[in-house]
Structure 1
Amino acid sequence: MFVDHTLESAPEGSKEALRRTQKGFGFVPVAMRRLAESPVLLAAFDDGTRHFAASSLTPRQQEVVILTVARLNECHLCVAIHGRMLARQGHRALVAPLTAGEATGDPALDALVRFVEQLMACRGQVSDAELQMFFDAGFQQRHALDVVVGVAAYTLSTFANRLTRAPVDPQLQP
């Protein structure tokens, strides 16, 4: 249903994001080729992910947020991509529990997962008790707000990937 654009066929406003993706991944995943149909969506995702990458969360914490959003939104593609990225960071043991919604054995990461789950379930209106549990795990207000950036960027991604029925590219298979 959705066009798998190439660098040549993509709308002009999508080409730079596709080039960056090509450089980062070594290829352009089908999901990005399909999202390229909308330069506005692709730019929003590209900007959101770059801002999230610059957040106060560590790269491992960022991947935990992303995998939690992907699991909750049932995006098999994002689960595959970000499970692989977490494993590349040296945290392969976290992938199975995070994708299954189980405890990781790390209290701070488990608090982060619970915070993301609550944030999404309550559409942002997390209870004072839940927020305090997040802070008690060592997180600060800035972290909570940066999690919102990750949830926003990857909700956009997971929804668009599901809408376009983007498959998991062979290069991203576990």
Structure 2
Amino acid sequence: MTTYPIDTAPEGSRPALAALRGALGLVPNLAATMANAPSLISTFVAAFGQFGGTRFTDAERQVLLLSNAVTNRCAWAVAFHSTVALAHGAPADAVEAIRRRELPDDPRLAALSATTRALIDKRGHLDEGDVKTFTAGGFDEVQLLDVITGLAISTMANYTGNVADPPLDPPFRAQAWNDGY
């Protein structure tokens, strides 16, 4: 699939790409690939913007998104979210644990990672124990709905990455990931 620079992207994709460039300082190749479908990139950018308004810290948001990327086996997104998680203060050992499909030692991050993985693995059918794991980590049930927002964002990005396999941008190459499958 084509990876578009802003000036040659479909007209309907340009505002979303410009917003990403403004927020990130670049248009990542995954987003430039999502630009093939203006509805996809526009929805993704709007949802991502709303996700920033949750009560999760920046590091927690990245732990959630990284957990989703690993669970969905999207190498591009794992590299991206590993890089951003570390930049936002997520502990390096937590990032490495998630990349190995393990839970972080930090109980709060472990609860967040376990819950997001359970939501994917169980297709949203959490049991009482899953919810208790989440709330025992210091989160409330309303934040569980914010996790679903993160899952929706990740689904768009991870599935695009898996289908289109865009090249990994230079800033994220140090965190390249092989899922071992």
Question: Match for residue 144 of structure 2?
Answer: 144
What is the match of residue 72 of structure 1? 71
CA distance in 1, matches of 2:24, 2:49: 15
Query: What is the distance in 1 between the residues matched to 2:90 and 2:109?
Result: 12
**1:1-174 equivalence runs, <5 A:** 2-93=1-92, 94-174=94-174
Q: So what's the TM-score if we normalise by structure 1?
A: 0.93
1:13-41 CA-to-partner distances (Å, cap 9, x unmatched) read 11111112222333322211111111100
Q: Aligned Cα RMSD in Å?
A: 1.3
Q: How many residues are aligned here? A: 173
The whole-number CA distance in structure 1 between the counterparts of 2:172 and 2:19 is 17
> Aligned-pair distance for 1:5?
1.3
**Cα offset for 1:91?**
2.5
User: Quick one: which amino acid aligns to residue 3 of structure 1?
Assistant: T
- Unaligned runs of at least 5 residues, structure 2: 175-181
Q: Is the Cα–Cα contact under 8 Å of residues 20 and 45 in structure 2 kept in the other structure?
A: no
Instruction: Tell me, yes or no, if the aligned pair for 2:4 and 2:32 is still in contact at 8 Å.
Output: yes
What do the CA deviations read for 1:47-91 (whole angstroms, capped 9, x no partner)? 111111111211111111100000011111111111111111233
* Other structure's SS at 1:105 match: coil
Cα distance between partner residues in 2 of 1:148 and 1:4: 28
Gaps of 5+ in 1: none
Give the counterpart letter for 1:45 in structure 2: F
Instruction: Kindly provide the amino acid, as one letter, of the partner of residue 131 in structure 1.
Output: V
* One-letter identity of the residue aligned with 1:128: E
Aligned partners of 2:131 and 2:141 also within 8 Å: no
| 1:173 alignment partner, SS class | helix
Shift of 1:92: 4.5
Contact 1:56/1:142 (<8 A) preserved: no
d(CA) in 2 for partners of 1:25, 1:129: 37
Which TM-score applies when normalising by structure 2?
Answer: 0.90
CA deviations on 1:96-133 (whole Å, 9 max, x unpaired) are: 11111223210111111111111111111100121122
Q: Write the distance in 1 (CA, Å) between the matches of 2:138 and 2:119.
A: 18
